[in-house]
């Protein structure tokens, strides 16, 4: 029996960090691109930043680049970024961080086992929320 993979959104809020964002996205295996999404939300950096980022990822269909209409606080940018995600599971990746290859595959395998949990704080620490 073939179990459907969960749709994952990787959300990367950023401001004026083009090299770091590129490294962050490049740390995500290309196999991830099929039926998943990477959301980059720019917090009103220089327009050239947005244009360069959009052009850099134009051939990677899972990458969606957004730009805020004005500069907001870091936390508000995270919230705006998270609202754009459509995944069954959402992970926040700071723009100056990267996935290690083994961490990403562990994360995918771990999600297959998770039932009735709403937040994974660390790869092996589950938090069951009361809603």
> Does residue 3 sit within a domain?
no
Evaluate if pTM is beyond 0.75.
Answer: yes
Residue 94: domain span: 8-127
> Does residue 100 sit within a domain?
yes
> Does residue 2 sit within a domain?
no
pLDDT band with cut points at 50, 70 and 90 for residue 120: low
CATH of the domain at 54: 3.90.550.10
pLDDT tens digits along 38-88: 999 999 999 999 999 999 999 999 999 999 999 999 999 999 999 999 988
pLDDT band with cut points at 50, 70 and 90 for residue 131: very low
d(CA 43, CA 81): 9
Q: What pLDDT, on the 0 to 100 scale, is given for residue 83?
A: 95
Q: What pLDDT, on the 0 to 100 scale, is given for residue 111?
A: 76
* CB burial string 22-42: b at 16+ within 10 A, e below: bebbebbeeebeeebbbbbbb
> Does residue 119 sit within a domain?
yes
Q: Is the pLDDT of residue 92 over 70?
A: yes
Q: How many domains does the chain have?
A: 1
């Amino acid at each position: 029996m073939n179990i459907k993979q969960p749709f994952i959104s990787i959300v990367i809020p950023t401001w004026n960090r083009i090299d770091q964002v590129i490294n962050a996205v490049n740390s995500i295996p290309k196999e991830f691109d099929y039926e998943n999404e990477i959301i980059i939300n720019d917090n009103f950096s220089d327009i050239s930043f947005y244009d360069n980022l959009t052009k850099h990822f134009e051939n990677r269909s899972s990458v969606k680049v957004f730009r805020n209409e004005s500069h907001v606080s870091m936390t508000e940018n995270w919230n705006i970024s998270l609202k754009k995600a459509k995944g069954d599971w959402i992970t926040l990746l700071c723009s100056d961080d990267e996935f290690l290859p083994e961490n990403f595959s562990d994360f995918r395998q771990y999600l297959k086992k998770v039932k009735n949990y709403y937040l994974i704080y660390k790869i092996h620490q589950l938090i069951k929320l009361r809603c």
